[in-house]
Chain A
Amino acid sequence: GIQVEQSPPDLILQEGANSTLRCNFSDSVNNLQWFHQNPWGQLINLFYIPSGTKQNGRLSATTVATERYSLLYISSSQTTDSGVYFCAVVRYGGSQGNLIFGKGTKLSVKP
């Protein structure tokens, strides 16, 4: 099956710093989403981005489908950004409901 690899696995930032999280995937996809799981376990959808670039406030994401990777940028990080960031994909031609998640990047933002 399709492999989803995220890096780095852990990241510690000082408040106000910027960061880039990476997601590599091993096969073509027709659905890619970024999620934030807060320290209480709630998963929040950040972006649906199978290709191209999107921005939402301090967050932006870029997916280069032909090169099979996606990047999530966090600018001017805040302590509330802490948690685990997951990339999830649906393999091209696969069941649209079957999101395959990476293992996540655990982000800790220190005040």
Chain B
Amino acid sequence: GAGVSQTPSNKVTEKGKYVELRCDPISGHTALYWYRQSLGQGPEFLIYFQGTGAADDSGLPNDRFFAVRPEGSVSTLKIQRTERGDSAVYLCASSLPGQVQDTQYFGPGTRLTVL
């Protein structure tokens, strides 16, 4: 079946603007994860949803970052008042917790550039 999809694939914005990044998980996957990957680093955990609720948002760097998953499927990561330091690849993953030993399947990412 289809994998995790993310849109847009690239986003260029100006400092101070608001951006939304979208993630479509694998159909039927109840868990959804957001990570951020800076150049030369491993992905860094941001937030994890189980269904519609955020089970762990301890990785969100500050209150400019927010994520929602209102119907338990598609998720949107929202960044307010973007800063140049927010530039990174934002990765989304999904899994069936309790199935396949919580293997996370990653999307292709959204490359965010803040000018």
**Residues of chain A whose beta carbon lies under 8 Å from any beta carbon of chain B:** 4, 31, 33, 35, 40-45, 48, 86, 88, 95-104
Binding site for A on B (CB under 8 A): 31, 33, 35, 40-45, 48, 50, 55-56, 58-59, 89, 91, 93, 97, 100-106, 108-109
Given A41-B108, A48-B101, A48-B103: A95 and B42 interface contact (C-beta under 8 Å): no
Q: Residue of A at shortest CB range from B3? A: A42
Q: List 8 A-B contacts (CB under 8 A).
A: A33-B104, A41-B108, A42-B106, A45-B106, A97-B50, A97-B56, A98-B58, A99-B33
- Residues in A whose Cβ lies below 8 Å from that of B58: 95, 98
Residues of A within 8 A of B97 (CB): 96
User: Which among B43, B50, B109 has the highest number of chain A CB atoms within 10 Å?
Assistant: B43
Min CB–CB distance A100 → chain B (angstroms): 7
Q: Which residue of B lies closest to A6 (CB)?
A: B42
Q: A99 to B43, alpha carbons, bound, how many Å?
A: 9
Contacts of B93 in A (CB 8 A): 43
A48, B100: Cβ atoms under 8 Å? Answer: yes
Complex: A104 Cα to B41 Cα, angstroms: 7
From B40, B42, B48, give the contact of A102 (CB < 8 A).
B42
* B35 contact set on A, CB distance < 8 A: 99
**Please, how many angstroms separate the alpha-carbon atoms of A21 and B108 in the complex?**
24
Which B residues lie within 8 Å of A42 (CB)?
A: 106, 108
